[in-house]
Amino acid sequence: MRIKVAPSILSADFSCLDREINKVERAGADLIHVDVMDGHFVPNITIGPAVVKYIRKVTSLPLDVHLMIENADKYADTFVKAGSDMITVHIEALSLFKIKSLSRKLRARGIKFGISLNPATPIAKIKNSLKFADFVLVMSVNPGFGGQAFIPSVVPKIKQLRKIFKKDISVDGGINEDTAKLVIDAGANILAAGSYIFSAKNVKQAIERIRNAAD
């Protein structure tokens, strides 16, 4: 599977977000990862649909919108209208029934539907929902903030998931060239990375190092 790199703009300089996005786009990013937090599901508040709408204007890359919010089913549509191409919800925040109906709605509109699980959430919790997902996003830090250290116990979880799930597996949190190798070897093929990419002097090289980490 081709490795895709998704810079997380949470670590970008928001005073010039357009330039930051153009910078990673020119440097070879495959997706733009957008972290939406509500101060309820996670202890932080970030951006909402109004900002996604402006991000949509400045890039042609797919927008990978990670909803770390309660009631994601209620807000997903607003994020689709704002220009999201991929929507990820958390298994800890939605019932199977809601996941099923949201998946149906989003897929009918050509949106890729992802389900995420926190580091402490076992694969068993997501098994019944896998058929509704186009991809799974495995969190390798506790969601809420950029710049945290990678939690190594997620590596066996990625391996376990890869055995039963043949579509895209995304990993998010603490990704750098070393942890990228661990998760790619375990079976992941989309890597979201914030601080490692946006703090790099050479962004192109940082993206390539993640992409080629397992070569």
Residues at the interface with ligand DX5 (CB under 6 A): 8, 10-11, 33, 35, 66, 141, 143-144, 146-148, 172-175, 192-196
Q: What is the DSSP letter of 167?
A: S
Min separation Cβ 149 and ligand DX5, Å: 8
66 binds Zn ion (CB under 5 A): yes
Asked if 90 is part of the footprint of Zn ion (rule: CB under 5 A), the reply reads: no
Q: What is the number of the residue whose Cβ is closest to ligand DX5?
A: 194
Catalytic residue among 35, 38, 64, 168: 35
Shortest reach from residue 148's CB to ligand DX5, in Å = 5
Residue 91 interacting entry, from Zn ion, ligand DX5, none, C-beta within 5 to 8 Å by type = none
Report the residue from 126, 172, 186, 190 that binds Zn ion according to the rule CB under 5 A: 172
**Which tokens is 117 given?**
């699980």
Is residue 206 classed exposed, middle or buried when 0-12, 13-18 and 19+ CB atoms within 10 A define those classes?
Answer: buried
Minimum CB separation of residue 140 from ligand DX5 in Å reads: 8
Binding-site residue total for Zn ion (CB under 5 A)? 3
User: CB under 5 to 8 A by kind: which of ligand DX5, Zn ion, none does 165 bind?
Assistant: none
Any catalytic annotation for residue 64?
A: no
Nearer to ligand DX5, 11 or 84 (CB): 11
Distance from C-alpha of 28 to C-alpha of 146, rounded to nearest angstrom: 21
Does 30 engage in binding with Zn ion (CB under 5 A)? no
Residue 172 designated active-site:
yes
Tell me how far apart the alpha carbons of residues 28 and 26 are, in angstroms, rounded to a whole number. 5
**Of the candidates 20, 35, 64, 73, which one interacts with Zn ion according to CB under 5 A?**
35
Selected catalytic residue, list 30, 38, 168, 172: 172
CB burial of 139-159 (b: ≥16 within 10 Å; e: otherwise) equals bbbebbbbeeebbeebbebbe
Q: Which does 195 bind (CB under 5 to 8 A by kind): Zn ion, ligand DX5, none?
A: ligand DX5
Name, in order, each residue with C-beta under 8 angstroms of 173's C-beta and a sequence gap of 6 or more. Answer: 139, 140, 141, 142, 143, 148, 150, 151, 192
- The answer to whether 137 and 170 have CB atoms below 8 angstroms apart is yes
Spatial CA neighbour of 75 closest among 55, 61, 54, 94: 94
Residues 6+ apart with CB under 8 A from 40: 69, 70
Positions marked active-site: 35, 172
What is the binding site for Zn ion (CB under 5 A)?
35, 66, 172
